[in-house]
Amino acid sequence: MATTSDFRNGLCLEMNKDLMIIVEFQRFQTGRGASNVRTKLKSLTTGKIIDHTFTGGEKVETARIESRPHQFLYKDDTGMVLMNTDTYDQIILQPEMIENHDLLKDGDPLVVVYHAEKELPLYGELPDFVELEITYTEPGIKGDTATNTLKPATLETGAEVRVPLFINQGDKIKVDTRKRTYSERVK
């Protein structure tokens, strides 16, 4: 059991027969009233984000979750096959359980979050940045770098991101997996 004073981003709660992760929270107090905590909670089963307000000092049930390092092996019709890098056990996750899964290539590392008591994988998290090669993009026009315009580019995994005009086919770029945006060119 925890109270609202224990809230932090990433804390996992058991509510309404579902596991919810605190995405963000804010404490506030009205005039003479009691303090409250506004939260945005993400459901681990449906992926929906809901707003919920707790009263100050309210007790909530927490769930213990663990992050374990894995490596992406391959994708087939059953799902995405991952290997635990500590125990070498293999698991299969559905692509919906990994946000921006199309930015993963064979051999890339990721973290899988487990429900510790049930040993159940909940979701996968990509590293903050991945380096990928561009397989197709329209050629840029020389000298057209003054504007901040972007063009579509297809990556080696089949994913598509928007890149600056000076990026060409065959270049390696760093992609921010949280925002799914171009970060920088890799040499």
> Of 33, 62, 91, which residue is a domain's last?
62
Judge if 74 and 118 occupy the same domain: yes
Judge if 48 and 88 occupy the same domain: no
Domain with 156 in it: what CATH number? 2.40.50.140
Judge if 121 and 69 occupy the same domain: yes
Domain with 24 in it: what CATH number? 2.30.30.30
Judge if 14 and 58 occupy the same domain: yes
At 72, is the pLDDT very low, low, confident or very high (cuts 50, 70, 90)? very high
Which pLDDT value is given to residue 62? Answer: 94
Q: Give dist(CA 102, CA 96) in Å, integer.
A: 10
Judge if 90 and 42 occupy the same domain: no
* Three-state DSSP class for residue 150: strand
> Of 78, 102, 125, which residue is a domain's last?
125
> Of 109, 125, 141, which residue is a domain's last?
125
Q: How many domains are there within the chain?
A: 3
Judge if 51 and 81 occupy the same domain: no
Q: Give dist(CA 6, CA 146) in Å, integer.
A: 49
Range of the domain at 146: 129-186
What whole-number percentage of the chain has pLDDT above 90? 74
Distances from the Cα of 150 to the Cα of 26, 140, 177, angstroms: 36, 10, 18
Judge if 120 and 90 occupy the same domain: yes
pTM for this predicted structure: 0.81
pLDDT digits (tens, 9 = 90+) for 112-169: 999 998 899 998 999 999 999 999 999 876 666 667 788 999 999 999 999 998 889 9
Find tokens 């992926």 and name the residue.
Answer: 47
Judge if 42 and 28 occupy the same domain: yes
pLDDT digits (tens, 9 = 90+) for 15-37: 988 999 999 999 998 888 888 99
Judge if 138 and 161 occupy the same domain: yes
